[in-house]
Amino acid sequence: MKSLLSIAATAALFIFASCGEQAGPAETNANDTAAETNKTGNLENLTDGTYTVDQASSTVSWKGSKITGSEHVGLVNVHKGYINVIDKGIANGFVAVDMNTMVCTDEEMDDDTKGNLIGHLQSDDFFGVEQFPYARLEMEGIKVKGDVAMGYGKIFIREIGQPISFPVQVSSENNNIVVDATVTVDRSKHDVKFRSGSFPDLFPDLGDNLINDEIELEVHILASL
């Protein structure tokens, strides 16, 4: 591949960098987590329960780059997910992306080149999609620091889980939950090694061929009862 990806999406889930900020210890009191979450948006009208993620209305976009600054962008479809609401706040949630649905949306690339890129990203050099068709994010809660709400939990790529935290915005719309998040993933921590500077013994002297480890994901989730 001439340059990278940035799952899922969250992958999607996918689909979905240096692994963002690592999460601290998970809160075990769901009510405390929910109380904090109320500060992230107006959820007072929501009914407690398990909200199912609407695949068609949810999106995950990815972006990856080389050390030279060139980048690729694309999408990956949400496969399934849920969000649990307790005491008018998000207690936890889950979203998975189907890595077989990855597409590249680079405007300057022709369809054949895009197909070659996606084929390489789905190969064992990167995400090994034949063996690992799904990536997922398991959100364990939301913490608020000042005016910033941070989701935290684990992200799984190639079935390797790593702790992660990320800025998140939560709101309600027509009794649905809307979650928007920017997630940065460090692919090297999920055994995605191709042209990574984290594996100098495998890829010495990469120079301008080095592909950054960070994959940036923009996640938009809509879930309903």
Q: What percent of the chain has pLDDT over 70?
A: 81
**What pLDDT shows up at residue 42?**
56
Model confidence over 118-145: pLDDT tens digits?
999 999 999 999 999 999 999 999 998 8
Q: Are 61 and 213 in contact (CB under 8 A)?
A: no
What domains appear along the chain, each with residue ranges and CATH number? 54-82+93-138+149-224 (2.40.128.110)
Average confidence score pLDDT of the chain: 83
Percent of the chain topping pLDDT 90: 64
Q: How confident is the model at residue 197 (pLDDT cuts 50, 70, 90)?
A: confident
Query: What tokens does 216 get?
Result: 């940036």
pLDDT at 27 over 60: no
For the segment 44-84, what is each residue's pLDDT rounded down to a tens digit? 778 899 999 999 999 999 999 988 888 999 999 999 999 99
Contacts of 119 (CB under 8 A, 6+ apart): none
Strand partners, 141: 152
Lowest mean pLDDT among 121-125, 146-150, 163-167, 189-193: 146-150
pLDDT number for residue 69: 85
- Residue 211 pLDDT exceeds 80: yes
pLDDT > 90? residue 11: no
What is the per-residue pLDDT for 41?
A: 52
| pTM, to two decimals | 0.79
What phi, psi does 76 have (nearest 5°)? -145, 140
pLDDT higher than threshold 50 for residue 171: yes
Q: How confident is the model at residue 18 (pLDDT cuts 50, 70, 90)?
A: very low
| Lookup: tokens for 145 | 């620091």
